[in-house]
Amino acid sequence: MAATTADVQVENHGSIVLVRPLSDEAASWLHENTDGTWWGGALAGEPRYVDDLLEGMLGDGFELS
């Protein structure tokens, strides 16, 4: 079984979640589908919004870690 490489790393810091793209495709998707705040190379968001974002990414075939 081949190992998969994640496209996005999700970092939960309690009151903020960082969604860090690890592939060019994921970065493009995030820039095209969000208008959020970027911090340190990651999209920063409130936890209440991140579930829908991640569901959209999974639906489009991205691998999360």
| Stretch 20-40: mean pLDDT | 96
Q: Is the pLDDT of residue 34 over 70?
A: yes
The neighbour count for residue 10, using CB atoms within 10 Å, is: 16
Nearest to 56 by CA among 21, 29, 25, 27: 29
**Strands lying side by side in the sheet with 17-21:** 8-12, 17-21, 42-45, 37-39
Nearest to 22 by CA among 4, 33, 9, 39: 9
Q: Is the pLDDT of residue 44 over 60?
A: yes
Q: Is the pLDDT of residue 64 over 80?
A: yes
